[in-house]
Each structure stands twice: as C-alpha cells, then as structure tokens.
Amino acid sequence: MKACSTIRTTTYQKDANGNYILNPAGQRIRISTDPVVIAQAQYTKRGTKVTKSYHGFYPSLDASYSITPNLILRGAYARSIGRQDLPFIIPGSTITDASVASPRVTVINTALKPMQTNSYDVALEYYFEPIGLASVSFYYKDMSDASGAAIVPATLELLQEYGITDPEQYLGWDFAYRQNIGDARIQGVEVDFRRSLKFSFLPTWTSNFSVFANGSKSDLKDNGLGDFNGYISEQGSVGLIFESRRFSGNVKLNYRGRQRLGAQTFAPDAYDYYMPRRYVDINANLRLTRHLSLFVNGRNVFNEAQYNDRYGQGSPSYNAVRKIERFGAQFTFGVKGTY
C-alpha cells in the first residue's frame, strides 16, 4: 500500500457560484498570503491510497562447455523484473496556475506495470598462456511493459480517471503522466581482450607490461515512446598496464558513443544527446612499504569537451549544438594503507 499527500487547487478564492475571483489583471486571487494557510489548503495528508500487487516466475539458466582446455563456450538465459522508481508510482497530482503560458495537470500513474525482460547471452572465451583472455559475446534482451512520459490534451475521461476535482475547468490543458508504452528490445555484441607481453622473443622487461581492449555495440528498437535515458549504443577502451613489485600504473583511452538523454517535444523523435567523445584516464600506485602506498588517479587528463546536442527529425544540423561543457581534468592524490 502506498499513501502520500495530494496537491489540490483550493488555494484561490471563489464566488458563490464556484467561479474563481480574479484581480484587475485577470489573475486568480489567493485565499491568503500566509504560506502556512496556503500549504494547509493545498495538501491533504494521505489523501490518496493505492494498493497494488504483482507476481511472476523468474527462472535463470547458465551453462558452459569446454571445447578445448583453453576455449570455452558459455550460454545463459534469465527472466527478470524491473520495478518502477518510487517517484513514478507514489500517488499524487500537481496542477499549475491557470495564468501560466501552458497550464498543466501532472498526475502519478499508480497503475504502471513493472518491466519484464527475457535475456539471452552466448559467449566464446579463449584463455592465453600464461595470462590473458580474448572473448566475444552476443546478447539479446526482449522487454515488455517498458514505460515513458506522455503529455496529451486533458479530456474529461482522463481527468475523471485520475480523480481530479472539478475536471471541467481543466479541459484542453496539458495532461502529463507516465504510461506503459509496449515492447522494446536491445541486441548487441561485446568484445574483450587482455594479454601479457611476456613472450620469449621479447626482452625480459616487457613481461611487466600487458595490453587490453574492450568494446560493445548495441541496437535499441522501440516505438519511440520509451525513455531509455542514458542509453549508449557504442563504447570501448584500449590501454597499457605496467606492474612490478613496487610500482603499477595504466593509461586508458576511452570512447563513449552518442548517449540519449531526455525526450523533447519540439519535433518527432527529438531528444537531448551527449555526443561521442574520446578521453584519456591514467592511474598510478607506488608502494612505499608493505602496508603503505601512494596513488594518483587522473580522469579526462586532456580536458576533452562534452558536447550536448538537441535535435529530432527534420532539425537542421547547424541548430543542433545546445551547449559545450568543459569540466577540467580531474586528479585524485592520496595515501593508501593496508593493515
């Protein structure tokens, strides 16, 4: 059971016929200038109560097969549930002032269903001697009851369905809520490579070095109504690692593809995006004694800019850049002890 305060529009004066009293500028007049009085009239403690329940069967299966001592084939299946964030299901409603440019009724849809996902994974792994790994994996995720935000014109049916008092006065306003938008799927591939440079034909000092590379590429298919904020279709990194008895460190070149952010309403399929970028991270650790060491970590050491674009279908490319952010290189220094 979930309960919360509900925001109501009882903070304005009305005449005997129930009509709002307006000032000479055509604005509604508050019942008081005291914020305590306004809050007491605006909120009803535990004014809405909702009880919801759901259940399901969520099996998982993992299997592996050794083709050779160094080559392994793995497979997995899992069915999982993705519960809605609490702010999306705790009941409540908010109604703006009628004098704003786009008056809006915002409600919480407590009937949102959790997202159900069937995940399938297949991977092939090869282990090098003495140390190293190369792998490639494929995955497919089939999701149902994904959710997304929606803004539609307020109708009498919608307003009554969500228990809005005096619904007739809000007809035609913006009506904002979340809804289950249907099915979606993500499929993709991941690769991973790690290898020590300890080879007989190389100088002995190279045995302290190793190289690594990893990356992923995926494809999201939905009906365009789901949020899927933070989705990145491509990302990867390559780097060099050095390890000795007293010193260890690594240098890593990262790539992050375009990242989808919040949906926009000015054009079909319009979103904010973080555009692709490359940046370098470094880490180093110097052991002073058996229990004490110094470390330094650097992120985006060359201060690569982050471009934030906003566009959709038909948006001109010259109008896409929204802002350019430079946060500076970030370094962390410290002393680390183990006891």
pTM: 0.73
pLDDT at 268: 64
pLDDT at 45: 64
Q: In the structure, what pLDDT confidence band is assigned to residue 123 with cuts at 50, 70 and 90? A: very high
C-alpha span between 206 and 195 (Å, rounded): 12
pLDDT at 58: 92
Taking a C-beta distance cutoff of 8 angstroms, is the pair 115, 147 a contact? yes
C-alpha span between 80 and 114 (Å, rounded): 10
Q: In the structure, what pLDDT confidence band is assigned to residue 138 with cuts at 50, 70 and 90? A: very high
% of the chain at pLDDT higher than 90:
42
Contacts 24+ apart (CB under 8 A), 98-105: 98/20, 98/28, 98/169, 99/26, 99/27, 99/28, 102/174, 103/170, 103/173, 103/174, 104/151, 104/173, 104/174, 104/175, 104/176, 105/154, 105/159, 105/164, 105/170, 105/173, 105/174, 105/175, 105/176
3-state secondary structure of 136: strand
Q: In the structure, what pLDDT confidence band is assigned to residue 50 with cuts at 50, 70 and 90? A: low
Comparing 187 with 261, the larger pLDDT belongs to 187
Domains of the chain, each with CATH number or no CATH: 1-47 (no CATH), 48-337 (2.40.170.20)
Q: In the structure, what pLDDT confidence band is assigned to residue 63 with cuts at 50, 70 and 90? A: very high
Query: pLDDT tens across 245-279, in order?
Result: 899 999 999 999 998 887 776 666 778 888 999 99
Query: pLDDT tens across 3-30, in order?
Result: 444 444 467 788 877 777 888 877 778 8
Q: Is the pLDDT of residue 141 over 50?
A: yes
Q: In the structure, what pLDDT confidence band is assigned to residue 283 with cuts at 50, 70 and 90? A: very high
Taking a C-beta distance cutoff of 8 angstroms, is the pair 86, 110 a contact? no
